[in-house]
Structure 1
Amino acid sequence: MTNTAPSLVLPEISSARLTGLLEFLQSAEQLKDTLRSGTTANGRPESTAEHSWRLALMVVLFEPELKDIDLLKLLKLALVHDLGEAISGDVPAPLQTPGDNRQERERRDFLTLCEPLPADIAEELLSLWDEYAAAVTAEARIAKAFDKLETMLQHVLMPRQEASFYAFNLGYGVDRTDCSPLTRQIRDKVDGLTRALMEDAGRESA
């Protein structure tokens, strides 16, 4: 059976551009080994790359509800937002403090990661990173909300924790998830799952 599909016309790029893109991609692989404080459902430490993947998957799943949102930009924000952690690592939410310069450090590390890239790509990625950090645009606000919600959903899947762990989650990122009726609705559902686990944990420790 012959392949009748038309051939694709994708022109070659310069050797220098190709080298820069692949070098960045190889460096970004470090995110697979950047561990977060949470675990998978089986108790294995979760990587930041896995978190970013599932965040992007959330965007795809909720696409029909994301009216007037630039979906491609939202996906890019989801995939770019934690890339700086490939160098600086993840700081768990309970350990984050005002004035710890975490955002500045992650931006500096993100710039280091982007050094091999062609100038136009580096400029675009930095613009996306800054947009996410500022959390002013609709896409950045949704990305921030989904980021918190994905984390909370992962916490629900983790092996049983102490009641205090679930109590922390009930207050986690409320300012971000309160940005729209949709994210509030998702939050209510996740909070319900969290409360049930907290009650079970409380009964077991009593």
Structure 2
Amino acid sequence: MAAPSSFDAAVPSAAQAVDFLTLVEQLKVQKRTGWVKRGVDRPESIADHMYRMGLMAMLVQGTQYDYHRCMKLSLVHDLAEALVGDITPTCGVSEEDKHRLEAAAMQQIRGMLGGGGCLAGDEIGDLWQEYELGQTEEAKLVKDFDKLEMILQAHEYEGAQGMQLQEFFDSTAGKWRTELGRSWAEEVYKRRQAAAQAVAATAAANGKEG
């Protein structure tokens, strides 16, 4: 039996798929705005951030969370940034305008995939909306992952580049939505404090030797 000459309308055409994947490259090359503004050397890309969030989601297997859905939410939550860039609170854009820009970008992305009726495009759009609303248990957890990945990365940059990035920790204080997210954050805080104490002890010891 001959192979079908075209796919069902529910599946993007080859051209639509490659157009979409080409757009996604922007997530690989665009650096995260917060790190760029703080002068971090070789800052992570948007895709770097999303990748580690996806792995975070894998770690919640066996809990009350649907980890497959958490992984999908992690992959999709910043997808609009491929078109609008990484808009942060320091960019002078209101939350309302940010959401409007990103929602329009997601509509454009759905159109690239064939519009309504494309299974992948519909799911991507629905996942992005779920994350934005932040009402499901999985969306709440992934919003915590978004902040967790940021403070973990801040801690790593502090250690590797000798920076002080306190504002990133301040911006997440008291904003954890889940007990799991809060407990992981506390582990990051603990390790950051231990690292600071080790640096202080080394500096004190060097001062005595001098």
Q: Which TM-score band applies after superposition, normalised by the shorter structure?
A: 0.7 to 0.9
1:81 correspondence with 2:43: no
Q: CA RMSD in A?
A: 2.8
Could you tell which deviates more after superposition, 17-26 or 74-83?
A: 17-26
**Normalized against structure 1, the TM-score is what?**
0.77
CA shift, 1:150, in A, is: 0.5
The higher relative CO (CA closer than 8 Å, separation ≥ 6) is in 1
1:128 alignment partner in structure 2: 127
Aligned to 2:46: 48
Q: Deviation above 3 Å: which 4+ runs of structure 1?
A: 92-100, 193-201
Q: Of the candidates 19, 30, 34, which is equivalent to residue 34 of structure 1?
A: 30
Q: Does residue 1:160 correspond to 2:158, yes or no?
A: no
Q: Could you tell me how far 1:86 is from its partner in structure 2?
A: 0.7
Q: Give the whole-Å Cα distance in 2 for the aligned partners of 1:132 and 1:74.
A: 10
CA distance in 2: counterparts of 1:124 and 1:175, whole angstroms: 31
* Residue in structure 1 matched with residue 138 of structure 2 by the alignment: 139
Q: Is the 8 A contact 2:60 2:67 kept in 1?
A: no
Residues of 2 paired with 1:151 and 1:28: CA distance?
21
Q: Confirm or deny that 1:183 pairs with 2:181.
A: yes
Partner of 1:18: 13
Identity %: 29
In 2, Cα distance between equivalents of 1:141 and 1:115: 28
Aligned twin of 1:151: 150
**Alpha-carbon distance in structure 2 between the residues aligned to 1:95 and 1:22:** 31
Shift of 1:115: 1.7
With structure 2 as the length reference, what TM-score do the two structures score?
A: 0.76
Q: Deviation digits for residues 37-79 of structure 1, max 9, x if unmatched?
A: 327xx93121001100011011113324xx2212211111000
**Amino acid corresponding to residue 152 of structure 1 in structure 2:** I
Query: Given the alignment of the two structures, is residue 192 of structure 1 paired with residue 185 of structure 2, yes or no?
Result: no
Instruction: Sort the Cα spacing of 1:99 and 1:47 in 2 relative to 1 into closer, same or farther, 3 A.
Output: closer
Rounded Cα–Cα distance in structure 1 between residues aligned with 2:5 and 2:53? 32
The residue matched to 1:157 in structure 2 has which SS? helix
| Change in CA separation of 1:193 and 1:169 when aligned onto 2, cut-off 3 Å | farther
Q: How does 1:51-66 map to 2 (within 5 A)?
A: 51-64=49-62
Show the counterpart of 2:103: 107
Bigger Rg, which one: 2
Q: Structure 1 stretches of 5 or more lacking a match?
A: 1-10
Who is 2:208 aligned against? none
| Residues 99 and 146 of structure 1, relative CA distance in 2, 3 Å threshold | closer
| 1:14–1:148 Cα change, 3 Å | same
